Amino acid sequence: MASEFLSTLISRREAITGIAAIGSALVFGDGNLIAGASERRTLMTITCVTRYQIDPFQRDVFKRYAENWGRIIPRCGGHLVGYFLPYEGTNDVAWGLIAFDSLASYERYRERLKSDPEARENFEMAQTKRLIVREERNFVEAVDVTFGIPVSPKGKGEGS
In whole angstroms, give the CA distance from residue 8 to residue 15.
Answer: 12
Domains of the chain and any CATH numbers:
13-31+43-146 (3.30.70.100)
In whole angstroms, give the CA distance from residue 21 to residue 141.
Answer: 9
In whole angstroms, give the CA distance from residue 107 to residue 116.
Answer: 14
Q: Nearest to residue 80, comparing CAs of 96, 62, 103?
A: 96
Report pLDDT digits (tens) over 109-131. Answer: 999 999 999 999 999 999 999 99
Rounded to the nearest integer, the mean pLDDT of the chain is 79
Does residue 9 have a pLDDT over 60?
A: no
- Which residues have a Cβ under 8 Å from the Cβ of 156 and sit 6 or more positions away? none
Spatial contact of 71 and 118, defined as CB atoms under 8 Å apart: yes
